Amino acid sequence: MLGKVVLLLVLADPLKADLMSDDVDKAVAAAQKLGAAKRADLLLEAISMGAPPKVDAAILEALAQCKTERALDTFLRYADNRNPEVRKKALTGLSEAPDKRASARLMEAVGDGDPSVRALAAKFVAKRREKGADEALLKLLRHNDGGAAQPLGSIATPEMTRRLAEMVGVLSDALLAQTLGVILKRSDVADPLRVEIVNTLVKIPGADSTTALVEYVAAVPAKEDRPSKGAAQKAIEQKGGGAASEPKGGGAK
C-alpha cells in the first residue's frame, strides 16, 4: 500500500516525492528547485510534517526565496529551533518580512546563545534599522562580540559615534577600531565628524586602529582633498605606520 502511495506521489509531482524522501540530499535538492519555482504551498506542507535539520534548513531557505507572507509563522516557529543553522535560515526569512513580529524576533536573536546566529541577527537589525538596534549592538560590543562591529558601524549616529569615542580603554581596542573604521568610510558621515574619528583612532593602540586609518585613506579618491584624509595620513605617521600611499587607480570611486 505504501509503495502505491509513493508511486502516486512520483506520478503526480516528482519534486514533492523527492522532498518527502528519506534521502536527505534528494530532499534538499528538491527544496532548492521548489524555492526557485516559488512553490511555497508544497514547501509549507512538507515542513509542517517534520524533517531532519538539514532538510528543514533547505526548506526555510527555499521559502525565503518565495517571498510569501504565508511563511511568516513558519519562520517565527523555526527561529526557536534548537539547531543554529535552522535558526539562521528562519531569521533570513524574517529579515524580508515587514511584520512587527519579525522585527521583535530579530531583535531578540541579537542575544542568541550561538555567536553565528547573533552575528547574522546583528546584520539584519542594522540593515533594517530596527528601533533600538544601535543600543543592542553596543551591548554586544561591550561583551567583546566581534559580530557587532560592522553592523553598529554601519548605522551609528553622530551621537553614538561620540559615545564610542569615550570608550577608549573600556571596549576592546580591536573591536572599537573596527567599528570606528566602518563609520569613517561611510559616505553619509560629515567630514568634521570623520576628523573626530581619526583623532580617536590615534588614541587606540594596536594594529587595528592603524589598519582603519590606512583603509580610509585608500578609500578616498586621489584627487579629493578632505581635511579628514590629511588628518588620517598624519595619524598613520604618528602611529608609526609609515606614509599612507594612494591605491592604484586613484582611490575608490
Task: Note the CATH architecture for domain 9-129.
Answer: Alpha Horseshoe (1.25)
User: What pLDDT score does 8 carry?
Assistant: 44
User: What pLDDT score does 238 carry?
Assistant: 86
Question: What is the enclosing helix (H) or strand (E) of 157?
Answer: none
Question: Which grid coordinates belong to 25?
Answer: 540530499
For residue 109, what are the contacts with CB-CB under 8 A and spacing of at least 6?
79, 87, 91, 117, 118, 120, 121
User: What pLDDT score does 20 carry?
Assistant: 85
pLDDT, averaged in runs of 10, over the chain (253 residues)? 47 77 91 92 92 95 95 97 98 96 98 97 98 97 96 98 96 97 97 97 95 96 91 90 44 37
Model confidence pLDDT, tens digit, residues 28-74: 999 999 999 999 999 999 999 888 999 999 999 999 999 999 999 99
Q: d(Cα 67, Cα 97) in Å, to the nearest integer?
A: 8
CB 181 within 8 A of CB 212: yes
User: What pLDDT score does 131 carry?
Assistant: 96
pTM (2 d.p.): 0.85
User: What pLDDT score does 69 carry?
Assistant: 93
Q: d(Cα 50, Cα 215) in Å, to the nearest integer?
A: 48
Q: d(Cα 40, Cα 31) in Å, to the nearest integer?
A: 10
